[in-house]
Amino acid sequence: MIVAFQGEPGAYSEAAALKFAPASQTLPCPSFDEVFAAVRDTRATHGILPMENSIGGSIHRNYDLLLEHDLPIVGEVELRVDHCLLALPGTALADVKVVYSHPQALAQVETALRQMTGVEVVAVYDTAGAAKMVREGNRRDAAAVASRRAAEVFGLAILKESIQDFRDNITRFCVVTKPGAPPAEADKTSLVFSLHSKPGALFKALAGFALRDINLTKIESRPLRGKPWEYAFYVDVQAPGTDAGLQRAVADLQDFCHWVRTLGSYRGFKP
């Protein structure tokens, strides 16, 4: 099993891949598009993508990519985003004059960085890449904001841990692969469908699930830009795609929607 992820070795996405499949190999990719390409071209057997964060919300970009490609979701994992301040062993907090990290991570540790007066904050395009720079540049005046795993990968010491503004910062990832039979242990299915914005439209669309006692664990509407009053809905349900009732509910959905896509059926993450 080779899992493609966006970022450098030591990235949060790589940690999520190893949480999903501890014995797998991982393949770093420069972008989310490249993660899909790696699976399509069979350089990787699986790809892992962040879909949703407990502070920031759904990552619409990756829902768009799931719709563009025909790679079903076959797994799910949640990972706590726990930012650490990393430096070469022996570097003291007072020695740090510059901090490197990905802009997204820098935004999530604003409080901690504001307390480090006189320190320059430099953006680079990877949390793990920031850790690598500190190690390879042998920088005794620098630190990186990255994961605990990046500290292990690059042999850095942890100066401070859990420096994120909000402790409860959790990202949910999906694992995709080439089309094939869904995993036997699947108990959850992700769907996307499009509805016109009119009274009762969503109520009708949900009836097929409710009347069959199929539980929804996520629902989100998203306006379709360029198509006023048309919305895409992301829905996760607690049933495998092979469930006959779910299949009839999805068939019912086609009477109310412009289009329906099953993004995949997989075992939901159990903490």
Q: Pick between residue 184 and residue 213 the one whose CB is nearest to a copy of itself.
A: 213
Interaction mask 84-113, a copy of itself, x per CB under 8 A: ------------------xxxxxx--x---
Pick from 83, 135, 102: nearest CA to 7: 102
77 contacts 173 by C-beta, under 8 angstroms: yes
- The active-site residue out of 127, 171, 177, 189 is 171
Contact, 163 vs 115, CB < 8 A? Answer: no
Angle at 214 between CA 246 and CA 192, to 5 degrees: 60
Binding positions for a copy of itself, 202-261, rule CB under 8 A: 202-204, 206-207, 209-221, 223, 225-226, 233
- Residue 44 CA to residue 35 CA, distance in Å, equals 9
At residue 43, what are phi and psi to the nearest 5 degrees?
-75, -25
Query: Is 173 noted as a catalytic residue in this protein?
Result: yes
User: Between 12 and 41, how does the x/- string for binding to a copy of itself read (CB under 8 A)?
Assistant: ------------------------------
From the list 116, 86, 79, 114, the residue with the least C-alpha distance to 101 is 86
Note whether 159 binds a copy of itself by CB under 8 A.
no
Q: Which stretch binds a copy of itself (CB under 8 A): 3-11, 37-45, 115-123, 147-155?
A: 115-123
Letters for 167-196 (x = contact with a copy of itself by CB under 8 A, - = none) are -x-x--------------------------
Stretch that binds a copy of itself, among 66-74, 127-135, 148-156, 163-171 (CB under 8 A): 163-171
Burial class (CB in 10 A: 0-12, 13-18, 19+), 254: exposed
Strands 230-237 and 260-267: unpaired
> What tokens appear for 185 in the block?
């242990």
User: Which 134-153 positions form the footprint of a copy of itself (CB under 8 A)?
Assistant: none
| Residue-level length of the chain | 271
171 is catalytic: yes
Smallest distance from the beta carbon of 146 to a copy of itself, in angstroms? 14
Cα 215 from Cα 237, distance rounded (Å): 6
Contacting positions for a copy of itself (CB under 8 A): 52, 54-61, 102-107, 110, 114, 120-125, 166, 168, 170, 197-200, 202-204, 206-207, 209-221, 223, 225-226, 233
Active site residues: 171, 173
